[in-house]
Amino acid sequence: MDRYAVVGHPISHSRSPWIHSQFAAQTAQSMQYTAMDIDPAQFEASIARFFDEGGAGLNITVPFKERACAMAQRRSAVVEACGAANTLYLDADRVLCAENTDGYGLLRDLLENHGARVTNARILLLGAGGAVRGVLPALLEQGPAYIGILNRSHDKALQLAGHFRGDVPVTVCAADQPFPAAFDLIINGTSAGLKGELPVIPDGAVHAQTWCYDMVYGKGETTFVQWAKQAGAARAIDGVGMLVEQAARAFSIWRGVSPQTSAVITALRRELSV
């Protein structure tokens, strides 16, 4: 039986094992999928050991996405562009390959599941870590008006913005400076929600048509979703749909078959609401 896992630190909150068990049952795949909490000091050694012992594929989450990219011997164009990987696997030549399905999952949820508008939208990204790196190329391909990055470390935000110079302006925002206009879409890519915290969000970022999207999910509403509703956002969405959609893409890379996601999203939301 092929072995897969999700790797992170912490990882106890992850619903990935449940999601992939649903996909496996739906598509009649014989596979095992578990969660692995890895000591950051042992990341590279643990990944190498997993594949040396016959592992077939890994999902990578906080805080290891950038290190997974660096470790891979072959990287997709998306991974090369963003410098972060959330999916690892061995190809036929047993070369360690890296992919990033976060951008696919985010756009699939925003555009297909919720009917959001990204083209020509004014977008604010909160955070500058692996999660934000992973979705930036996909967002830029949709042709937004511009993308602002707001991060606790201003230097890290500047570095990320400088990495994505092109037709769409990618700028760095400061929490203590007013914006020229409110944003159409605000995406929280920080891990603050895992601790029940809220990233710094300046006044004036939200207007009556603003959509807010939290890449984090959990039992009940996330802190960011609660804030968005109180701020008067038009829509406030958590990351459950993105989680399932990016997982489905990774599953199809590994197994060569694409599972249906809508029923899994519905079931997961039902479970998280209990």
Interval 67-97: pLDDT, tens = 999 999 999 999 999 999 999 999 999 999 9
pLDDT band at 129 (very low <50, low <70, confident <90, very high): confident
Comma-separated ranges of CATH 3.40.50.720 domains in the chain = 103-238
Which CATH number is 103-238 given? 3.40.50.720
Domain 2-100+241-273 has CATH 3.40.50.10860: yes
**pLDDT digits over 2-45, tens only?**
999 999 998 988 899 999 999 999 999 999 999 999 999 999 99
Averaged pLDDT, 104-128: 97
Would residue 229 show up in a list of annotated catalytic residues for this protein? no
Report phi then psi at 50, rounded to 5.
-60, -45
Catalytic residue among 65, 195, 219, 229: 65
Residue whose entry in the numeric block shows the structure tokens 């891990």: 191
- Residue 11's SS3 state is coil
Q: How many helices (H) and strands (E) does the chain have?
A: 10, 12
Q: What is the pLDDT of residue 195?
A: 76
Q: What is the pLDDT of residue 5?
A: 98
Q: How far apart are CA 44 and CA 35, in angstroms?
A: 16
Q: What is the pLDDT of residue 269?
A: 94
Comma-separated ranges of CATH 3.40.50.10860 domains in the chain = 2-100+241-273
What is the DSSP track for 235-263? EEE-SHHHHHHHHHHHHHHHHS-PPP-HH
Q: Which residues pair with 31 in a beta bridge?
A: 2
Averaged pLDDT, 246-268: 98
pLDDT band at 192 (very low <50, low <70, confident <90, very high): confident
